[in-house]
Amino acid sequence: MLMKHVVMNSQLPLLYCAKNCMRLASSPVFRRQRFLIRSLGGSIDYHTNCSSGKMQSVEVDAERVIREITPVLDRSRHKGQAGNIAVIGGCREYTGAPYFAAISALKIGADLSHVFCTKDAAPVIKSYSSELIVHPVLEESYSVREEDKKNISSKVLAEVGKWLERFDCLVIGPGLGRDPFLLDCVSEIIRHARKSNIPIVIDGDGLFLVTNHLELVSGYALAVLTPNVNEYKRLVQKVLSSEVNNEDPVEQVLTLSKQIGGVTILRKGKSDLISDGDTVKSVSIYGSPRRCGGQGDILSGSVAVFLSWARQHIEAAGPDSYLSSKNPAVLGSIAGSAMMRKAASLAFSNKKRSTVTGDIIECLGKSLEDICPAGSCSL
């Protein structure tokens, strides 16, 4: 059969294929990744398919990751230990997206969830839920005179800055809009978050911002980008000066992450591909055929919580543990992706075509409980 395949496909001789596979298997990156995943009890993240020469991802055990990083609920813990998340977004036109991201963080299990939005958006977001802490501090160009922009920008940064150190993760972009002055202010917030070593999850219009200003996230290992199809296309065009390669998506997402300095990219699709430039993981479990708007906001809020839990988990494990070599941004992305898919599947089984974003949010708690019952998971 092998000889028949070689004759039929003269463009890929068997000898070349064997050498290619041996070269990949002997590479330091491959050996390191195989060791890490074996430690988790899973399989390698990607391999070369010898019939095509293309790198392929392997499904990761996402439920095991969730069980591993989700903290125990016990009476000794105090408010804030299970996560203090902030969403930077929300303007006149878009008030639903920041609410979905922030409330999802609470439904997953974060203790506190904040929204920093424009003054116009704040009353609307407050009306959605009394559970959220809403800060009406952002400004858009229409409400700021040119001569006042520098002063207003400093005030915005000061208002956000006095809270920054309290947060375990920022979600930047849901409902942000593309107002130039507002984006300039958010750029400064990102720079300050980096200086404080605070993880950031970037979605929606936040991706529009960083695609045009890659220096904001380049080289920041605690940054996660969560592009959809169109956002990913713009990133690829900007960074790689090419078009999306659906024939070899694993190789491309790996290269894209490397080119942005090792940020974690969660490419949303039929299977979510997650890469930090060293490894590629695939999450394709569960899911729903119903594609209502707002699911990306649920994902970003979920990733933020799991990222913060993964970071705490790794720090608690200590430098001598194999956990110390894992990337919390990757672990958080895996867990957030799987949780979103499971909740969407559960919501669809109940509501079918009438499923909306709120239905999925209400299924987050049960989805996590099914995988990791309260009190049974460990930190």
Report how far residue 53's alpha carbon sits from residue 15's, in angstroms, rounded to the nearest whole number: 12
Please check if 288 is assigned to a binding site: yes
Across-strand partners of 59? 282
May I ask the CATH class of domain 63-376? alpha beta
Q: What residue type is assigned to position 306 of the chain?
A: F
Please check if 262 is assigned to a binding site: no
Report how far residue 271's alpha carbon sits from residue 221's, in angstroms, rounded to the nearest whole number: 23
Q: What residue type is assigned to position 29 of the chain?
A: V
Report how far residue 258's alpha carbon sits from residue 237's, in angstroms, rounded to the nearest whole number: 15
- 185-220 exposure pattern, b = at least 16 Cβ within 10 A, e = fewer: bbbbbbeebbeeebbbbbbbbbbbbbbeebebbeeb
Please check if 261 is assigned to a binding site: no
3-state secondary structure of 378: coil
Q: Give the 3-state secondary structure percentages of the chain, helix then strand then coil, rounded to 5.
A: 55, 15, 35
pLDDT per position in the chain (379 positions), as tens?
443 333 334 333 333 333 344 344 434 444 344 434 333 333 334 544 544 556 665 688 999 999 999 998 887 777 878 899 999 999 999 999 999 999 999 999 999 999 999 999 999 999 999 999 999 999 999 989 999 999 999 999 999 999 999 999 999 999 999 999 999 999 999 999 999 999 999 999 999 999 999 999 999 999 999 999 999 999 999 999 999 999 999 999 999 999 999 999 999 999 999 999 999 999 998 789 998 999 999 999 999 999 999 999 998 877 765 556 789 999 999 999 999 999 999 999 999 999 999 999 999 999 999 999 986 765 4
Please check if 233 is assigned to a binding site: yes
Please check if 229 is assigned to a binding site: yes
Please check if 271 is assigned to a binding site: yes
Please check if 251 is assigned to a binding site: no
Please check if 252 is assigned to a binding site: no
Please check if 184 is assigned to a binding site: no
Count of C-beta atoms within a 10 Å radius of residue 280: 27
Please check if 297 is assigned to a binding site: yes
Please name the residue ranges forming H helices in 119-248. Answer: 122-128, 149-164, 180-195, 205-212, 229-240
Please check if 231 is assigned to a binding site: yes
Please check if 175 is assigned to a binding site: yes
Please check if 178 is assigned to a binding site: no
pTM of the model: 0.85
Do residues 139 and 181 touch, judged by C-beta distance below 8 A? yes
Please check if 179 is assigned to a binding site: no
Count of C-beta atoms within a 10 Å radius of residue 63: 17
Please check if 89 is assigned to a binding site: no
What is the sign, positive or negative, of the torsion defined by CA atoms of 28, 30, 35, 39? positive
Please check if 287 is assigned to a binding site: yes
Residue with tokens 């969830």: 113
Please check if 290 is assigned to a binding site: yes
Token pair belonging to 346? 């559960």
Q: 249, 341, 269, 250: which is closest to 303 by C-alpha?
A: 341
